[in-house]
Structure 1
């Protein structure tokens, strides 16, 4: 009679046995002490305890890096909040409504380190129609502003709005932010940010912060609306 073939013990069998027999190393403490593992920092063998210590050090290092990133992002967010506070404060302190577009642009350039900023408005109240910022926007650029569901960010392909900047030839990237009354699909102006850095306003960047800036600027400049 042929004896049944016993399948060889596999690594999975050993792993399952040890996982299901937690007191094995209590009964065989010498085995645990003699286990040698390869070190990730060379070809030498290390004890299980030393390997565990290395893994713990690596985990701590990873946590420290993540903590440093969180602190850095927190500091950056705090700095942005401070700049936004100072910009908003200057708008609130501006008593003469006709000065608001200039204050909005100059303070944005100063607080957020934007090299060039321009604002154009249309359909403003008669008292402000003679101001430079209320003139020069063609029907095409008005239609373009109205078509923007969110700020445009990208290269400077020679758009009309770029010509409103002091030195459009030096601009490699643009952010065009439509200005709207709350809840209205129509735009009554355009906020233009320009930079010589082609990556400052990249096409794939998030626009949430720029949208918030557009909302605040729109609210401030609504005083110039009829």
Structure 2
């Protein structure tokens, strides 16, 4: 006695994919076939169901396009902010003013964040507000392969701000492959800086700040 093959939805779908001429050969089935409405207690013709599917997909594509345009506008705004920050640093003739210029510029361009800066290994730096001799901080920053993002980081750095931050980003600064400091961003929200977020933008800020502050390695 032969076994009866089990007919499944996957079998039917595969058959229709393998036999695209099926509905041409059986046009009467195509014209009369109905399927359940996805959002109501009624049925639709196969053609109507296809139109409904296309409308849904079109709406999804509209949302995706809107999201892409929003992201593009946001990225353009961020790029403008960074450009303004860089021009201010480049225009500063006095290297001793650069640390304050770095912090003030970032605070101005990203006004939702608090910014702090600590520096070392810069022999020409005279402004003690930015100088740090904290060996533990230097060791922590030296161990960072990329900016830290999260709720902790180097915890003593939280005291650099008027109120305890919900999350922080700690960006190592380097010159000639040597750590010269750390740039810290603090946010009120605990989810603003998350461990799994991308850090490319923060790394760019770190490189730009490092390049500017390197003038203090040998400035008069």
TM range (shorter): 0.7 to 0.9
Match of 1:147 among 123, 143, 146: 143
Residue 164 (structure 1) aligned with residue 160 (structure 2): yes
CA contact (8 A) 1:108 1:114 kept: no
State the shift of 1:133 in Å. Answer: 3.6
Residue 20 (structure 1) aligned with residue 16 (structure 2): no
Consecutive unaligned residues in structure 1, runs of 5 or more: none
CA deviation digits over 1:200-225, x for unaligned, max 9? 22233222211111111000100001
State the shift of 1:159 in Å. Answer: 2.4
Q: Which has the larger radius of gyration?
A: 1
CA deviation digits over 1:124-176, x for unaligned, max 9? 234x3x312443431221222212111122224772333333x1x33222221
- Aligned counterpart, 2:42: 44
Consecutive unaligned residues in structure 2, runs of 5 or more: none
2:106 and 2:66 mapped to 1: Cα distance? 29
CA contact (8 A) 1:25 1:32 kept: yes
Residue 208 (structure 1) aligned with residue 200 (structure 2): yes
Query: For 1:79-158, what aligned pairs fall within 5 Å after superposition?
Result: 79-126=77-124, 128=125, 130-156=126-152
1:103 and 1:219 mapped to 2: Cα distance? 13
Evaluate the alpha carbon distance shift between residue 98 and residue 16 of structure 1 in structure 2; reply closer, same or farther with a 3 A threshold.
Answer: same
- Aligned counterpart, 1:74: 72
State the shift of 1:77 in Å. Answer: 1.1
2:206 and 2:13 mapped to 1: Cα distance? 64
The alignment's C-alpha RMSD in Å is: 2.7
Moved more, 35-44 or 13-22: 13-22
CA contact (8 A) 2:137 2:154 kept: no
- Aligned counterpart, 1:195: 187
Evaluate the alpha carbon distance shift between residue 15 and residue 103 of structure 1 in structure 2; reply closer, same or farther with a 3 A threshold.
Answer: closer
Give the alignment's TM-score, normalised by structure 1.
Answer: 0.83
- Aligned counterpart, 1:179: 173
- Aligned counterpart, 1:223: 215
2:130 and 2:71 mapped to 1: Cα distance? 39
> Aligned with 1:201: secondary structure?
coil
CA contact (8 A) 2:153 2:168 kept: no
